[in-house]
Structure 1
Amino acid sequence: MAIPPLVVDLDGTLLRSNLLLETGMAFVRSQPLRLLKPVAWLARGKAALKENLACATQLDVSVLPYDPAVIELIEAERRAGRTVVLATACHHSLAERIAEHLKLFDQVLATRADLNLSARRKRDLLVEHYGEGGFDYAGNSRDDIPVWAAARQAYVINPESGVERRAKARGNVERVIRSNPARLRDWLRAMRLHQWAKNLLIFVPLLAAHQLGNLALIWQALLAFLCFGLCASSVYLLNDLLDLADDRRHEAKRHRPFAAGRLSIESGLVAFPLLLGLAFAGALWLLPWAFAGVLLAYYGLTLAYSLALKRRMAVDVIVLALLYTLRIVAGAAALGLALTFWMLAFATFIFLSLAMVKRYAELREARRQGRSGRTGGRGYSPDDLEMFSTLGAASGYMAVMVLALYTQDQTTAALYSRPFLLWLACPLLLFWITRVWMITFRGLMHEDPVLFAVRDRVSLMVCALFGLVFWAAT
C-alpha cells in the first residue's frame, strides 16, 4: 500500500518567516511613498494583495531562512520514497521559485488570483486531491488546525501559542518539532543594547558646562539616556525589518535575529512602535518638550536614512554624523544647557570621520571578497576606498583643528584657570584619529568605530588622559 504524501506548509513551518510580511516590508523599503497602494490591493481581497506584492517586489529566495529541521524531515521522507507536496497560502510565483530552489517537492499548491489557499480552503483542496485522511500534514499555526483534522497524521512545527494543545486534541499528532524558540537574548540582540553606549553622548553638555556635581541634572541626563535608548532600539528593530534582504546577503548581519528568522516579523511590527511609544511617553512626561522635539527629529532622520538616504552617496555618512551629533543636542535640550559653536563643529567633524571609517571598513571587506559593484545597498563600490580614506582622515584632523581653536577662545579662557593645558588634548586626539584610521586601513576594524572606542583599551586610556587634561586645566 502506498504511503500517503507528506504535505508541508511554508510560512512558519519550512520557512522561518512570513512571505506576505516579507514582501510587504520589501515594498515599503523600495516604494515608501506608495504606502497606501497595498490598502487598495487588500480591498480586492487577500489573494490580490499577495499577487500584487509578489509582482512588485523581487525576493531572493536563495537567502530566505529555511528551517534545517524541516528540510531534514523532508529529505528523510523522500529517501523513503514518499511524495512530498508544498501547500502554502503564499502566492504561487513565490512558492514555485522556492520549490525550484530547494528541489524537495513533487508538487506545489499555492494561492492564485482567484483563491487564497489558507485554512479551510487548503483543507478542502487537499481532501479533493488525496481524500479524507489520505495525507499527512506539517504546519504550525491556527489556520492549520482544520487541515490537521482532515489529515492522517499531524506534524506540528514550532507551534504558535495554544496550537500544540489544540492539535493534540485531535489525537493524530505524529511528531512535534521545536527547532526555533525565541529567546530573551535574541530580543536583547535585536534591540542592540550594546549600541546604547553611543547615547553616553547625551552627557557631553553636562561635562562641557562643568555640572557633574549637579545631581538634579545628572538624574535628568539618565532619564534622557533611557528615553533615547528606547527610541534608538525602536529604530534598530524597524531598520532590521526593512533591511532583511541586504542583511541576509551580509556575512555577519545574516545572523541577526530577524534576518535569521529567530524572531518573527509579526513580533517586530508590534515591538518597534511599543518601544517608540514608551520613549516619547517618557520624554513628554518627565523631560522638557525640547528634548521630545530633538527625539522626534532623530527618529524622522533615522527613518529617512533607513528608507532612502543610506543609499545616497555622501548623504549617508553626513546623516550618520548628524545622528551622532543629535545625541549631544538632545542632552543639551534635556538639561536646559546651551550648545556652543565649538561643540557642534567638533562633533560634526569627528563623527563624519568615524562614519567614513565604518564605510571604509565595509568597502575594504567587499574588495577582499572580490566584489566590484555597489555593496550592501549603499551608493559606493570598493573603487571608492582611496577617496574615503582621504576624506575621512581629513575630517578627523579638522576636528583636531576645531579643538585647537577652542583652546584659544576667550570664552574658554573664562571657564578654565589654566587654559594653556588644553593644548595637550590636541596631540592625544591626533594620535587617536591616526590610530583608528591605521587600524581600519589594515582591515582590523570589524565593528562600529564608536563601539570600538568603548571596548578598545588604548582608546579608553586616551579618553582617560583627555579627561585628565581638562580636569587639570579647570
Structure 2
Amino acid sequence: MSETTPLVLDVDGTFLKTDLLYECLWAGLGRAPRETILAVIRHFRHPARLKAELARIAPLRTDLLPVNPDIADLALRSRMAGREVVLASASDRLLVERLAAEYGLSGRVFASDGETNLKGEAKAAALVAEFGERGFDYAGDSAADLAVWRHAENAIVVGPVRSARALSADGANIVEIANGWKFRALIRAMRPHQWVKNVLLLLAMIAAHRFDLQTLIPVLWGMVAFSAAASSIYIVNDLIDLEADRLHPTKRLRPFASGEVPIVVGMGAAAGLALLAVAIAAWLGWAFLGVLVFYMILSLAYSLKLKRMRWIDIATLAALYTVRVVAGAAAGKVDVSIYMLIFIYPVFITLGCVKRLTELTLAKSDERLPGRGYSRADRGDLLNVAVLGIVGALVIFFLYSISEQGRQLYPTTWLLWVAMVPMAWWLNRMVLLGWFGKQDYDPIVFAMRDKFGLGLLMITLSLMFWAAGLWAKWFGL
C-alpha cells in the first residue's frame, strides 16, 4: 500500500464492531420508545432521514462504542506513516464526524446527510469524485462495499464476504482481515445460567403435593418455555442497556456491549426465542399462554421503563418471580393457594432489595447506578425494606400454618413453626451477603449455587414434608 494514498474506512462492522443505525434504534427504544417507533414507521422507506432522526432522538456516546482492534491498529500505523485516514459510512454524518474527531482521524468524512444514503454506488461515486479512480484504499465488511472496492487501489476485506471473491477474479489487490462472531458468545448472551430461576415453576406443584408425571411433564415444558422467553427478554434488555453496560466494570464485557456479537444477530435470536416460547405455551393451554404473555409484556416494560424507577423496579422484579409460580400452577393444572402467593411476594421483595444492595455495595462511586434510580445513599432504605419483607413473609407463613387450608395439608402444625427458623436464617443471610457485597448480582442465581443456603432451604422443605406426613407416606417414617 502506498504511504500517500488515503486510507478510507467504512464504519459499521469495519472500524466499529457494531452498527450505528441499530445502536441509535435501541438507544431510542430505551430513552424515548414512542418517538423512536413513530420515527421508524414514518421514515422506514427513507433510510438517510431515518438515521438522522434516530441520531437526534438518542445521541450516542461514540467514545464508548467498541472498536475493531485490527482496523484501529491499521489506522494508527497509517497515520504514523503520514497517510490520511478517512471515515466513509452510510451512518449519519453527525455521528461519523464525532467518531473521526475522537480518534484523531481526518476531518474529511463521507456519510449520510439526511437526504442521501451514502451506501454502495453512492459512496463509490463520492469517493471517486474526491480522490479519483484508484486514488484510495478502502476497508469494508459487506456485499454493499463491492461497489466501492471496484474503484479502490487496494481492497481491504474485513470478515467473510462471499461477493468479494469476484474481486479476485478481476485481479484486484485484496487484503483480508479476519472478523466475525462466535455462536457460543450468542449462547452466553442468552444467559442460560439464569434458567435456574424457572425452578420456581415447581413450587405450586410441590405445595399442592402433586408429584405425579402427569403434573410434572407439563411443568417441565413450561420451564422450557419460560427459559426461552426469559432469554429473549435478556437479549432485548442488553440491547436497550448498551450504553449503561459499557459504563459498568463487568457488564461492558457482555456480547453486545463489547461488539462480540452483532446487534442484528441478537435481534433475530430474540425474535426466534420469543416465537418458540409462545408456541410451547400455546400447546400447554390458554391459561399458561396468558401467564407467559403477561410475563413477557411485564418483562419488556421493566426493560424499557420500570427498572429506572425507584422502588417500582423492585416491586416489578418481585412480580416477575411470583408470575413464575402462577405459571407452574397453570402448566400443571394445580390450584395455587392465595396464602402462597401472598407469602412469596414479600420474599421476592426482599431478594429484589438484595439485588440492588449488592450492586450498590460493589459500585465504584457514589453516583447513581447507570440506568437505575439508586445510589449508595439508598442502601439504608433498601435494607429496611428487605427486613420488612422478611417480617411480612414470616407472619404470613405463620397465619397460613393455623389456617384451615394449612392444617389440612400440614396436620403437624408445630413442624411448620420449626421450619420458620431455617427459613428466617436463609433470608437474613441473603440480606447480609448483599449488604456486604458477598454474592452475585442476581440473588436467585446465587441462591442456587450457595451450598450453605441450599442446605437451609432443604432443611426447611424437609420439615414441611414431615409436617405434611409425606415422609411417613413415602418411606414409612
* Superposed CA offset, 1:346-388 (max 9, x none): 110000100011111112233xx2233x322222222111111
Which range is displaced more, 220-229 or 316-325? 220-229
Residue of structure 2 equivalent to 1:8: 9
SS of equivalent to 2:176: strand
Residue of structure 2 equivalent to 1:23: 24
Query: Cα–Cα, structure 1 residues 465 and 303, in superposed 2: closer, same or farther, change >3 Å?
Result: same
User: Offset at 1:58?
Assistant: 1.5
Return the alpha-carbon distance in structure 2 between the equivalents of residues 291 and 114 of structure 1.
48
1:441 aligns with 2:435: yes
Residue of structure 2 equivalent to 1:371: 366
User: Offset at 1:104?
Assistant: 3.1
Query: Cα–Cα, structure 1 residues 357 and 170, in superposed 2: closer, same or farther, change >3 Å?
Result: farther
User: Offset at 1:167?
Assistant: 4.3
Residue of structure 1 equivalent to 2:193: 194
Q: Conserved in 2, the CA contact under 8 Å of 1:191 and 1:237?
A: yes
Residue of structure 2 equivalent to 1:115: 116
Residue of structure 1 equivalent to 2:410: 416
SS of equivalent to 2:91: strand
Q: Conserved in 2, the CA contact under 8 Å of 1:397 and 1:433?
A: no
Equivalenced residue count is 466
Query: Cα–Cα, structure 1 residues 331 and 173, in superposed 2: closer, same or farther, change >3 Å?
Result: farther
User: Offset at 1:128?
Assistant: 1.1
* Superposed CA offset, 1:182-212 (max 9, x none): 2222111111111110011001111011112
Residue of structure 1 equivalent to 2:202: 203
The runs of 5 or more residues in structure 1 that have no matched partner are: none
Return the alpha-carbon distance in structure 1 between the equivalents of residues 56 and 401 of structure 2.
60
Q: Conserved in 2, the CA contact under 8 Å of 1:41 and 1:49?
A: yes
Return the alpha-carbon distance in structure 2 between the equivalents of residues 345 and 173 of structure 1.
70
Q: Conserved in 1, the CA contact under 8 Å of 2:101 and 2:107?
A: no
Residue of structure 2 equivalent to 1:185: 184
Return the alpha-carbon distance in structure 2 between the equivalents of residues 247 and 2 of structure 1.
39
Q: Conserved in 2, the CA contact under 8 Å of 1:203 and 1:328?
A: yes
Residue of structure 2 equivalent to 1:288: 285
Return the alpha-carbon distance in structure 2 between the equivalents of residues 206 and 168 of structure 1.
64
Q: Conserved in 1, the CA contact under 8 Å of 2:21 and 2:91?
A: yes
Which range is displaced more, 431-440 or 414-423? 414-423
User: Offset at 1:166?
Assistant: 3.9
Residue of structure 1 equivalent to 2:232: 234
- C-alpha RMSD over aligned residues: 1.6
Alignment of 1:55-74 (within 5 A): 55-74=56-75
1:354 aligns with 2:351: yes
1:431 aligns with 2:430: no
Residue of structure 1 equivalent to 2:40: 38
SS of equivalent to 1:36: helix
Q: Conserved in 1, the CA contact under 8 Å of 2:19 and 2:263?
A: yes
User: Offset at 1:164?
Assistant: 4.3
Residue of structure 2 equivalent to 1:261: 259
SS of equivalent to 1:107: coil
Q: Conserved in 2, the CA contact under 8 Å of 1:91 and 1:110?
A: yes
User: Offset at 1:417?
Assistant: 4.1
- What amino acid maps onto 2:265 in structure 1? S
SS of equivalent to 2:356: helix
User: Offset at 1:106?
Assistant: 5.2
- What amino acid maps onto 1:73 in structure 2? L
Return the alpha-carbon distance in structure 1 between the equivalents of residues 265 and 167 of structure 2.
23
Query: Cα–Cα, structure 1 residues 167 and 432, in superposed 2: closer, same or farther, change >3 Å?
Result: farther
Q: Conserved in 1, the CA contact under 8 Å of 2:423 and 2:457?
A: no
Return the alpha-carbon distance in structure 2 between the equivalents of residues 448 and 220 of structure 1.
27
* Superposed CA offset, 1:133-181 (max 9, x none): 1111100001101111111111111235x244344444334321124x3
1:325 aligns with 2:322: yes
1:450 aligns with 2:450: no
Q: Conserved in 2, the CA contact under 8 Å of 1:342 and 1:402?
A: yes
Return the alpha-carbon distance in structure 2 between the equivalents of residues 90 and 264 of structure 1.
16
Residue of structure 2 equivalent to 1:171: 171
Query: Cα–Cα, structure 1 residues 438 and 176, in superposed 2: closer, same or farther, change >3 Å?
Result: same
1:300 aligns with 2:306: no
SS of equivalent to 1:150: coil
Which range is displaced more, 392-401 or 12-21? 392-401
Return the alpha-carbon distance in structure 1 between the equivalents of residues 244 and 148 of structure 2.
35
TM-score, normalised with respect to structure 1: 0.95
Q: Conserved in 2, the CA contact under 8 Å of 1:432 and 1:459?
A: yes
Residue of structure 2 equivalent to 1:388: 382
SS of equivalent to 1:434: helix
The runs of 5 or more residues in structure 2 that have no matched partner are: 470-477
User: Offset at 1:114?
Assistant: 3.3
Return the alpha-carbon distance in structure 1 between the equivalents of residues 426 and 229 of structure 2.
30
SS of equivalent to 1:71: helix
- What amino acid maps onto 1:108 in structure 2? V
User: What is the percent sequence identity of the aligned residues?
Assistant: 38
TM-score, normalised with respect to structure 2: 0.94
SS of equivalent to 1:90: strand
